[in-house]
Amino acid sequence: MSGSRQPVANIPASAGLMRAAVAVGIALLAVAIALIQLGLVLPAKLLLSATAIAAILVHWCLPASSVRSPDVEQIDPLTGLTNRRYFHDVGQAMIENVQRRQRGIALMLVDIDRFRAIAGSLGHEAGDLLLRHVAKTIRDEAPSEAIVARFESDCFGCLIPFDPRGRNRVERLADRLAVRLSQPVKLVDQELTPRAAIALTRIDDGAATVDRLVRQADLALIAAKARSDGKPLWFAPAMEEAMAERNAIITDLRAALANGDIQPRFEAQVDLGTARLTGFEVSGYWDHPSLGPMTAERFMPVAEACGLSGEVSLLLMRQAMAAARDWDPSITLSIPLAASQFQDAWLAQKVIKTLTECGFPAHRLEIEITENALFANLALAQSIVISLKNQGIALALDAFGRGYSSLAHLRALPFDRVRIDPNFIRNMAADPDCCAIVTAIVHLGDSLHLPIAAKGVRDLDIEMRLRDIGCAHGQGSLYGPPLDLAQVRQMLAEKRLLAGISPSSLTIPRLAG
């Protein structure tokens, strides 16, 4: 595919003219001073007036030929691509021309994943190199008639006219970009494998506008980033409904936090060898006034996007620890924290303060950290984790296998447990590759003396497979649904696992089926 022809920014050659004008002005000023010293005041005044008029003309004429140059106004100086403002104007003209010819129009957005973290850890020079690399890749792959623009710091747009009979041309372009942008690239002295979210929308009903295309592509981009599998995603009308829900969540979330409307749910964790209850993983539950009951999987991504995930996590932690103070001391609480929370240098202090206020023993608390949190800022994550470990708090690497973890990460941080991504567990019976991956992770844990926990255990067959390969702990629907505060307390009372009650059997009945 031929590269699209993008105008290149040309800096007007006016710097020399400006310097010459300044030099002449200084010379004329010197002459005027000399005339005054000779007593020739009137000629000096005339000369100064002429110099002032010339300076005004230079001031007004030079910007018109340089600063207001069309190239400078239209081009992003870093990448050489069209900028967003000019994209809107020229894009609308392209749309009108395409529609007159009864052709379709598509918009593709490309967003670099974790760009801020990359620029922060590798430096701004590396960030600029990555932006130029992505811009060149898109420009090389795009058809010559396409308009490629830099929308924001790490987001690019590509407006593509197409024949309605050949829509797959746009899909092939997006697929090629996804492959090329996932290849390793050398930035300064380091090699990086970037990831990008790619979203597309197309309109061939004769009613396309730039604003409509951008709005739809933005919605698809949000969904593509949440899915994080690197595959291009097309806009679907249901995404508008999802955005309406997202806006409702954002609007009501702060009030829900203030009112304590978000409540903890407790999912049992068991020893696979004995079926004994060892603890609970805590998640959130919110009965939204208009959207109805929501699990954390539904509202926590929105909370993280709007900067409230930390407040939600600390609220759930406080509620869970207050409830669990009189539970049997062998029962632990596992609290998952969002990746963004590990960008907060005060996170350890906030957790320790909550522990102290609730009077909860540190050794009964386990903090779950995701692989994404490690990648964003390993040095800060190390500092936070060491502070937590020094207080006796346990640490689990959550959803292992989904993201970027390596043996280096396992060595760099003092984990007490590794939890395998539930997608691998659920597919063990049907997918030999998943079974092999789980087996390899369990054996890796054995060699590193790290207990392995499996999330997503839903039937006896999977439980048996996990037990046979030596997996230590499990949780999932096989052991019952997540329980609210009243339900978990009733279950613990029946098993005599509340303070002052002698314990009976700690085994958890399995829900076969």
Same domain, 143 and 268: no
- Of the candidates 275, 383, 295, the one whose C-alpha atom is nearest the C-alpha of residue 336 is 295
Same domain, 103 and 120: yes
pLDDT at position 43 is 67
pLDDT at position 200 is 96
Question: How confident is residue 305, by pLDDT bands cut at 50, 70 and 90?
Answer: confident
Report DSSP state, residue 13.
Answer: S
pLDDT of residue 424 exceeding 90: yes
DSSP states along 167-201: THHHHHHHHHHHHHTTS-EEETTEEE---EEEEEE
What CATH number is associated with residue 186?
3.30.70.270
pLDDT at position 416 is 94
pLDDT at position 441 is 93
Q: HEC string of 136-163?
A: HHHHHHCCCCCEEEEEECCEEEEEEEEC
Question: How confident is residue 510, by pLDDT bands cut at 50, 70 and 90?
Answer: low
What is the domain extent for residue 186?
Answer: 77-236
509 lies in some domain:
no
Instruction: Answer with the one of 30, 55, 71 that is the final residue of a domain.
Output: 71
pLDDT at position 490 is 95
Of all residues in the chain, the percent with pLDDT exceeding 70 is 81
User: Residue range 361-374: average pLDDT?
Assistant: 89
pLDDT of residue 403 exceeding 80: no
250 lies in some domain:
no
53 lies in some domain:
yes
The answer to which of 2-6, 74-78, 147-151, 394-398 has the lowest mean pLDDT is: 2-6
Run of H or E residues at 246 = helix 238-259
Give the model confidence (pLDDT) of 198-207 as tens digits: 999 998 777 7
Give the model confidence (pLDDT) of 407-417 as tens digits: 666 777 889 99
Which residue pairs from 89-92 have beta carbons closer than 8 angstroms and sit at least 24 positions apart in sequence?
90/147, 91/147, 91/159, 91/210, 92/209, 92/210
252 lies in some domain:
no
pLDDT of residue 169 exceeding 70: yes
Same domain, 138 and 54: no
Same domain, 305 and 183: no
pLDDT at position 379 is 81
121 lies in some domain:
yes
Name the domain count of the chain: 3
Same domain, 275 and 202: no
Question: Among the ranges 27-41, 46-60, 191-205, 335-349, which has the highest mean pLDDT value?
Answer: 335-349
Same domain, 58 and 89: no
User: Residue range 488-500: average pLDDT?
Assistant: 90
Same domain, 391 and 276: yes
Q: Within 10 A of 337 (CB to CB), how many other CB atoms are there? A: 22
pLDDT of residue 212 exceeding 60: yes
Same domain, 383 and 436: yes
The answer to which of 35-49, 340-354, 405-419, 433-447 has the lowest mean pLDDT is: 35-49
Same domain, 394 and 466: yes
pLDDT of residue 189 exceeding 50: yes
203 lies in some domain:
yes
Question: How confident is residue 19, by pLDDT bands cut at 50, 70 and 90?
Answer: low
pLDDT at position 184 is 87
Q: Who has greater pLDDT, 211 or 40? A: 211
What is the token pair recorded at 242? Answer: 């999802």
Run of H or E residues at 55 = helix 41-65
404 lies in some domain:
yes
Integer Cα distance of 306 and 473 in angstroms: 34
Instruction: Answer with the one of 41, 71, 101 that is the final residue of a domain.
Output: 71
134 lies in some domain:
yes
Number of residues that make up the chain = 513
User: Residue range 398-421: average pLDDT?
Assistant: 77
pLDDT of residue 49 exceeding 70: no
Instruction: Answer with the one of 27, 45, 71 that is the final residue of a domain.
Output: 71
Q: Considering the entire predicted model, what is its pTM?
A: 0.69
User: Residue range 275-292: average pLDDT?
Assistant: 96
Q: Who has greater pLDDT, 162 or 262? A: 262
Same domain, 84 and 128: yes
Give the model confidence (pLDDT) of 316-335 as tens digits: 999 999 999 999 999 999 99
pLDDT of residue 60 exceeding 80: no
pLDDT of residue 471 exceeding 60: yes
pLDDT of residue 230 exceeding 50: yes
pLDDT at position 21 is 59
User: Residue range 140-157: average pLDDT?
Assistant: 93
Task: Kindly list the distances between the CA atom of residue 258 and the CA atoms of 250, 451, 460, in Å, as whole numbers in the listed order.
Answer: 14, 38, 42
Integer Cα distance of 344 and 338 in angstroms: 11
What CATH number is associated with residue 469?
3.20.20.450
Same domain, 322 and 469: yes
Same domain, 26 and 46: yes
